[in-house]
Amino acid sequence: MIDELVENVLKLENDDIVINQKIGENGAKVVNKSAGILTHCNAGALATVGYGTALGVIRSAYANDKTIKIYADETRPRQQGARLTTWELIEDGIDVTLLTDGMCSYFMKNGYIDMVVVMVKHDHIKQNWDKIKGKVVLDCFNICPLEGVYHI
């Protein structure tokens, strides 16, 4: 029974990494050769088994020699963006700047951010869409079309 459990866990681990890498590869296709990317919260290796969903897109773009500059929201109140996302990106050698949660509109308006990459779990969305991983992401998504910023 233990062997079967371990086998299933290892399969889940492998499947998660493969799925995350595919998300990354597909998402990286829409990243321009040079891009400023905003991400919110943490959807990297620390939130998954080892590659990440939103950060998987960023990792894949970086691996494909795209010149990317990442802007990570701090993600109040728990600071996942500040503590986790920035750490993962620094460890990977990817250029990252930490922003306070209220700065995304300024950076979009002034042309620093070309796209927003976030991974939103279904349990973070209410039927009326008033909460997507917190008000900050909803605000950023509302600003994106106004500033010509692409979001995935």
pLDDT digits (tens, 9 = 90+) for 86-105: 999 999 999 999 999 889 88
* CB-based burial label for 126 (10 Å; 0-12, 13-18, 19+): exposed
**Greatest alpha-carbon span in the chain:** 58
Residue ranges making up the domain that contains 28:
2-151
Helices 2-28 and 54-63, packing angle to 10 deg: 60
CATH number, domain containing residue 35: 3.40.50.10470
- Considering the entire predicted model, what is its pTM? 0.83
State the catalytic residues: 123
Residues (pLDDT < 50) of the chain are 122-125, 129, 132-133
Q: How far apart are CA 104 and CA 38, in angstroms?
A: 8
pLDDT of the residue at 76: 85
Domain count, the chain: 1
Q: How far apart are CA 136 and CA 55, in angstroms?
A: 18
Q: What percent of the chain has pLDDT over 70?
A: 79
Please say whether the beta carbons of 88 and 41 come within 8 A: no
